[in-house]
């Protein structure tokens, strides 16, 4: 089990290393694929994967990523408005078959997975240093999580969320934030040898990672809450040893938008 988890994780990291470096259409397509799989996993968890809303949701996701590249609709609120209108149109004309909860879940599925994951691409393509800042998403999510796991195993005593995630501890969370920040500092220092990074950007990378590590914990707990609500252990089995896309990217879903906002408004 350990080696299966390690090898699949290593392959995923190597794939992201290449795609983060290349950026552009390859990264866009990769993120779109992850979004569709994660969206399907969520729709399956809430039992609407075979509904008209699910099929329309996949189409909206695809159109969203096309628009992300072409920027045909630059006003994001306009895109959200159009999405709501489409879902409500279907609801009105098929009210006898579906209920409003399914409409809400379908809308949530588009926003929670594809839209929030798309900020991976947005960060990468943001300015000259996008290739530098995009890795802070992974460091704040998976790097901090690994540190939290190690610290929690060694000295975790106080449960942080005993119902949602019994293995998480306050000590582990603190260790994750500190450990993730140190990884980010080391990463920024090494990268400064290859690209021009200011002292402000070095400091910013640590601040962004600290905030990202905190929000990643919340992202993980949100996914756990959904699984608890619907009595499932994992969202899927696509990634050996890790589960589905949502099981592996639950923290990234929240970290990516936060990194984008901090980088966009502070640089």
Mean pLDDT of 215-221: 91
**pLDDT average, residue stretch 145-160:** 81
Does the structure show a pLDDT above 60 at 19? yes
* Helix ranges (DSSP H) in 23-51: 24-45
Q: What is the mean pLDDT of the chain?
A: 88
Q: For position 62, what pLDDT does the model report?
A: 96
pLDDT tens string 96-152: 788 889 999 999 999 999 999 999 999 999 877 888 999 999 999 988 888 888 888
pLDDT of residue 4: 60
Provide the terminal-to-terminal Cα distance of the chain, rounded to the nearest Å: 42
Q: Which residue has the tokens 């779109």?
A: 32
pLDDT surpassing 60 at residue 1: no
**Separation CA 144–CA 29 (nearest Å):** 27
Residues 6+ apart with CB under 8 A from 37: 236, 238, 244, 245
Would you say residue 41 has pLDDT above 90? yes
For residue 83 the two structure tokens come to 């999405």
- Which of 1-10, 157-166, 219-228, 233-242 is least confident? 1-10
> What integer pLDDT is reported at residue 234 of this predicted model?
86
| Confidence bin at 9 (pLDDT 50/70/90) | low
- Residue 140 is predicted with a pLDDT of 92
pLDDT tens across 72-86, in order? 888 888 888 999 999
Residue 2 has pLDDT above 60, yes or no: no
CA geometry: angle at 89 spanning 88 and 94, to 5°?
Answer: 95
- pLDDT, mean of residues 159-181: 83
Q: Please, are residues 120 and 260 in contact by the beta-carbon 8 Å criterion?
A: no
pLDDT at 227 (0 to 100): 92
φ, ψ of residue 125 to 5 degrees: the values are: -90, 10
Burial-class residue 160 by CB neighbours within 10 Å (0-12, 13-18, 19+).
buried
Task: Note the pLDDT of residue 241.
Answer: 66
Cα–Cα distance, 33 to 103 (Å, whole number): 23
Query: What's the pTM?
Result: 0.91
DSSP H or E stretch at residue 166: strand 165-169
CA–CA separation, 242 vs 190, rounded Å?
A: 29
Query: At 45, is the pLDDT very low, low, confident or very high (cuts 50, 70, 90)?
Result: very high
């Amino acid at each position: 089990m350990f080696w299966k988890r390690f090898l699949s994780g290593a392959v995923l990291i190597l794939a992201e290393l290449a795609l983060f470096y290349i950026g552009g259409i390859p990264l866009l397509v990769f993120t779109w694929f992850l979004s569709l799989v994660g969206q399907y996993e969520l729709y399956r968890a809430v039992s609407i994967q075979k509904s008209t809303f699910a099929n329309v949701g996949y189409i909206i996701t695809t159109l969203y990523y096309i628009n992300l590249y072409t920027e045909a609709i630059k006003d994001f609120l306009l895109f959200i408005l159009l999405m709501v209108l489409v879902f409500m149109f279907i609801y009105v004309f098929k009210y006898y078959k579906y209920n409003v909860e399914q409409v809400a879940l379908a809308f949530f599925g588009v926003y929670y997975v594809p839209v929030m994951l798309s900020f991976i691409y947005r960060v990468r393509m943001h300015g000259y240093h996008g290739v530098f800042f995009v890795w802070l998403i992974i460091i704040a999510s998976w790097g901090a999580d690994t540190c939290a796991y190690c610290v929690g195993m060694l000295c975790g005593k106080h449960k942080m969320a005993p119902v949602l995630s019994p293995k998480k501890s306050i000590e582990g969370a603190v260790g994750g934030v500190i450990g993730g920040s140190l990884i980010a500092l080391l990463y920024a220092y090494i990268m400064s040898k290859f690209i021009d990074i200011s002292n402000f950007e070095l400091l910013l990378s640590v601040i962004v990672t600290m905030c990202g590590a905190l929000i990643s914990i919340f992202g993980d707990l949100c996914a756990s809450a959904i699984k608890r609500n619907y009595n499932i252990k994992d969202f899927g089995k696509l990634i050996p040893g890790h589960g589905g896309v949502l099981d592996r990217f639950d923290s990234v879903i929240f970290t990516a938008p936060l990194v984008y906002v901090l980088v966009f408004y502070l640089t």
